[in-house]
Chains A and B, each alone.
Chain A
Amino acid sequence: GNSVTQMEGPVTLSEEAFLTINCTYTATGYPSLFWYVQYPGEGLQLLLKATKADDKGSNKGFEATYRKETTSFHLEKGSVQVSDSAVYFCALTVNTGTASKLTFGTGTRLQVTL
Chain B
Amino acid sequence: NAGVTQTPKFQVLKTGQSMTLQCAQDMNHEYMSWYRQDPGMGLRLIHYSVGAGITDQGEVPNGYNVSRSTTEDFPLRLLSAAPSQTSVYFCASSRTTGGNNSPLHFGNGTRLTVT
Contacts of A98 in B (CB 8 A): 50, 97
Contacts of A102 in B (CB 8 A): 43, 45, 98, 104
Contact B108 A43 (CB under 8 A): yes
Which residues of B are in contact with A by a Cβ distance under 8 Å? Answer: 4, 31, 33, 35, 40-45, 48, 50, 56, 58, 90, 92, 97-101, 103-104, 106-109
Is the CB of A82 closer than 8 A to any CB of chain B? no
Question: Which of A49, A101, A107 sits near B103, CB closer than 8 Å?
Answer: A49
Contact B99 A93 (CB under 8 A): yes
Instruction: Sort chain A's interface into a size bin.
Output: 20 to 34
Nearest CB in chain A to that of B3: its residue: A43
Contacts of B104 in A (CB 8 A): 36, 44, 46, 102
| CA A89 to CA B45, docked complex, whole Å | 15
